[in-house]
Amino acid sequence: MTLGRTLAVARKEILQLKRDRRSLILAFLLPLILVLVFGAAISLDVREIPFAVVDQDQSTESRELVDAFGSSGYFTLHGYLTTSSEADPLLARGTVRLVLVIPPDFRERLASRSTAPVQVLVDGGDANTATIAINYADAIAAGILSPEPLRTRRAVPIRAQSRVWYNETLDSAWMVVPGLVAVIMAIIAAMLTALTIAREWERGTMEQLVSTPVSPFEVVIGKLLPYVVIGVFDVAMVVVLGVVVFHVPLRGNLFLLGGLSLLFLIGMLSYGILLSARLKSQLLATMVALVTTYLPTLLLSGFIFSILSMPLVLRVISHLIPARYFITITRGIFLKGAGLGVLWPQALGMALFAFFALVLAARSFRKEIG
SS3 76: strand
Q: What is the pLDDT of residue 310?
A: 87
Distance CA 235, CA 333 (A): 14
How far is the C-alpha of 277 from the C-alpha of 359, rounded, in Å? 12
Pick the closest to residue 167 from 335, 338, 332 (CA basis): 335
**DSSP letter assigned to residue 320:** G
Cα-only R_g, the chain: 28
C-beta of residue 91 within 8 angstroms of C-beta of residue 81:
no
Name residue 172's amino acid: S
E strands, the chain, where?
Answer: 49-55, 75-81, 98-102, 119-122
**Going by DSSP bridges, is the β-strand pair 98-102/119-122 parallel, antiparallel, or unpaired?**
antiparallel
Beta-carbon contacts of 101 under 8 Å, excluding residues fewer than 6 positions away, are 53, 54, 56, 84, 87, 118, 119, 120, 121
Instruction: Give me the pLDDT at residue 151, please.
Output: 42
- Convert the pLDDT of each residue in 291-328 to its tens digit: 899 888 988 998 888 888 889 999 999 999 999 999 99
- The pLDDT score that the predictor gives to residue 162 is 60
As to burial, measured by CB atoms within 10 angstroms (0-12 exposed, 13-18 middle, 19+ buried), residue 313 is exposed
Contact 193, 236 (CB under 8 A): no
- For the domain made up of 49-149, the CATH class stated in words is alpha beta
CB 27 within 8 A of CB 192: yes
**CB contact set of 24 (below 8 Å; sequence gap of 6+):** 17, 18
Which residues in the chain come in under a pLDDT of 50?
148-156, 158-159, 367-370
Q: Where are the domains of the chain?
A: 16-43+170-369, 49-149
